[in-house]
Amino acid sequence: MNKKRSIKRQNQIRLTLTWLLVGFVSLLILYPLVWTVGASLNPGNSLMSSSIIPKNISFEHYADLFNGKVDYVTWYLNSMKISFFTMILTLIFVSFTAYSFSRFRFVGRKNGLILFLLLQMIPQFSALIAIFVLSQMLGLVNSHLALVLIYVGGMIPMNTYLMKGYIDAIPRDLDESARMDGAGHFRIFIEIIMPLSKPIIAVIALFSFTGPLGDFILSTTILRTPDQFTLPIGLYNLVSMKMGASYTTYAAGAVLISVPVALLFLWLQKFFVSGLTAGGSKG
């Protein structure tokens, strides 16, 4: 009896500690978000307020983003375009590369995987000079194409490792069964591997879309004119002016960045737990 009570008490303690930890981590995550939303609703240009959510809520800063005072719409569209094409190209290249490394044995395969791992360890900003010189030689300075190519190239190594590990876990019996029915490698890839890989594809899509939205160093290295600026550069300019810096407008702009990310996550979340049996009957 005492042993049962002891076990029950231990379970209660563990459950309590778990909830305390979850609450603490949630607070760390939510507080900055709530504070940013509150700052965006604060009248004036000051971030100081007597409460997290101001008493006198104002949407003037959101209106300022779209009334022509700043080129926020241009920055927003530029960032969405870069993120979208980065996501699409990353998914295409990573899918084929991961499938090749997972299902084929060829000369240089092991060295290629090691090279991918080494490339992932080198931060992109360490090659800023080389990236700029190469972009200048190719005539891609102040071009969104240059940023898309750089982002895609930087995301291929790590995401290839992630997707390769996922594809490795898919039984090869499915490939062999489809091959016996006359299916080629491309059909197996499209009709079996890809449906079964929906969860990891969704993860890579989300990562590759959000990556460019938060980049400042590479974008400032390549882009030169305001009409080509992305959101990080444009929002930085709002608070870097020597006079008239608008921190609250910056907060409003930062809040709106989360809208497409949230919508993409809501659309992709159904794939995070699906796909495990989606292609099992195909061949």
Could you tell me if residue 282 is inside a domain?
no
How far is C-alpha 240 from the chain's CA centre?
A: 26
Please give the full DSSP string across 121-189, using - where no structure is assigned. HS-GGGGHHHHHHHHHHTT-TT-HHHHHHHHHHHHHHHHHHHHHHHHHTS-HHHHHHHHHTT--HHHHI
Q: Which of 89, 117, 85, 87 is nearest to 101 (CA)?
A: 117
Prediction pTM value: 0.83
More confident residue, 248 or 280: 248
How far is C-alpha 220 from the chain's CA centre?
A: 19
Q: Same structural domain for residues 43 and 156?
A: no
**Predicted local distance difference test score (pLDDT) of residue 91:** 94
39 with 248: CB under 8 angstroms? yes
- pLDDT tens figures, 204-258: 999 999 989 888 888 998 998 888 999 999 888 887 764 455 778 888 888 888 8
Could you tell me if residue 283 is inside a domain?
no
CATH code, domain carrying 238 = 1.10.3720.10
Q: Average pLDDT for residues 67-80, to the nearest whole number?
A: 89
Q: Same structural domain for residues 38 and 142?
A: no
Q: Same structural domain for residues 56 and 83?
A: no
Q: Same structural domain for residues 264 and 133?
A: yes
pLDDT band at 47 (very low <50, low <70, confident <90, very high): low
Q: Same structural domain for residues 16 and 141?
A: no
CA–CA distances in Å: residue 194 to residues 93, 152, 201:
13, 20, 8
Q: Same structural domain for residues 47 and 176?
A: no
The span from the CA of 101 to the CA of 160, in Å, is 9
Q: Same structural domain for residues 158 and 215?
A: yes
> Which residue type does 14 have?
R
Q: Average pLDDT for residues 124-147, to the nearest whole number?
A: 87
To the nearest whole number, what is the mean pLDDT of the chain?
A: 84
- pLDDT tens figures, 177-199: 888 888 888 888 888 888 888 88
Instruction: Tell which of 20, 44, 62 closes a domain.
Output: 62
Could you tell me if residue 280 is inside a domain?
no
Could you tell me if residue 108 is inside a domain?
yes
Instruction: State yes or no: pLDDT of 119 exceeds 80.
Output: no
The span from the CA of 211 to the CA of 234, in Å, is 17
Q: Average pLDDT for residues 48-70, to the nearest whole number?
A: 78
**Predicted local distance difference test score (pLDDT) of residue 242:** 46
Q: Same structural domain for residues 200 and 75?
A: yes
Instruction: State yes or no: pLDDT of 282 exceeds 60.
Output: no
Those residues with Cβ within 8 angstroms of residue 70's Cβ, 6 or more apart along the chain or in another chain = 64, 234, 238, 249
Q: Same structural domain for residues 142 and 48?
A: no
Instruction: Tell which of 62, 91, 114 closes a domain.
Output: 62
Domains held by the chain: number: 2
Q: Same structural domain for residues 94 and 180?
A: yes
CA 218-220-223 angle, 5° bins: 100
Q: Which of 204, 224, 239, 262 is nearest to 144 (CA)?
A: 224
Q: Same structural domain for residues 91 and 225?
A: yes
Q: Average pLDDT for residues 24-36, to the nearest whole number?
A: 86
Tokens of 37: 């939303």
For residue 52, give its domain range: 2-62
pLDDT band at 283 (very low <50, low <70, confident <90, very high): very low
Q: Same structural domain for residues 136 and 235?
A: yes
pLDDT band at 46 (very low <50, low <70, confident <90, very high): low
The span from the CA of 101 to the CA of 104, in Å, is 6
**Predicted local distance difference test score (pLDDT) of residue 51:** 67
Could you tell me if residue 50 is inside a domain?
yes
